[in-house]
Amino acid sequence: MAKAEVQLPEEMLTRLSQLGAKSDEIAEKMLEAGGEVLLSRVKSNLAGVIGKGTKYPSESTGELERSLGLSPAKLDRNGNHNIKVGFAEPRSDGGSNAQIANIIEYGKHGQPAKPFLKPAKSASKAAVIEAMKQTFEQEVSKL
């Protein structure tokens, strides 16, 4: 399944622990802010690779792009907050969006890879962290 995870930097986790009762709420807002930055980059990259450099005319319906979204921020079983950028399932034809995204990202026999997820994650790391820091500062200033 194609997905990307956004995690809080250690420095922010330390400061969050000092905030007490509001820390979970603030962590979720921070992850949502960072996730939105990553989501926009992934959408842009995906739009740039779909139907490009193919032997035959593109048969894209746009369903894969429309299914791309952000999960709600959640607390996992290890006590870590996380949010995911991924694809809603299933497709209208019963297929898997994650499978199609995986084929685009990594390619298959006769179809070269057209990475869109990994480059988006790498290129937006600093912007994601910055968005999370700004949200943190805004939320702390409200306390």
Mean pLDDT, contiguous 10-residue spans, the chain (143 residues): 72 72 86 95 92 75 91 89 91 90 89 91 94 91 73
Query: What pLDDT sits at residue 1?
Result: 55
pTM for this model (two decimals): 0.80
* Phi-psi category of residue 94: left, alpha or beta, with phi > 0 → left and psi -120 to 50 → alpha: left
Q: Residue holding tokens 């979204």?
A: 69
Of all helices (H) and strands (E), which one includes residue 98? helix 97-106
Judged by DSSP in three states, 132 sits in helix
pLDDT at 143: 66
Q: Where are the domains of the chain?
A: 4-142
pLDDT of residue 42: 95
- Collapsed DSSP state (helix, strand, coil) of residue 39: helix
Strand positions, DSSP E, 1-143: 4-6, 68-70, 74-75, 81-87
